[in-house]
Amino acid sequence: GTLAFMWETRYPLIPTEYASTLPALQEDYQEVWATLRRWFPR
């Protein structure tokens, strides 16, 4: 199983250099959403 968290804030989230260079970083994470159907026009 997996567990996902989502935070909402009006402030920009800026990851640290440490966080952006970890081996566990999923470089292709955005591809997870590629198969979702678009319901609203851009």
Specify the pLDDT at position 12: 94
DSSP assignments along the chain, one per residue:
---------SSPP---HHHHT-TT--TTGGGGGTTSPP-S--
Specify the pLDDT at position 11: 96
Reported as a single tens digit per residue, the pLDDT across 4-42 is: 888 899 999 999 999 999 999 888 988 988 998 989 998
Specify the pLDDT at position 16: 95
Specify the pLDDT at position 22: 93
Secondary structure (3-state) at 20: helix
* Domain extents in the chain: 18-42
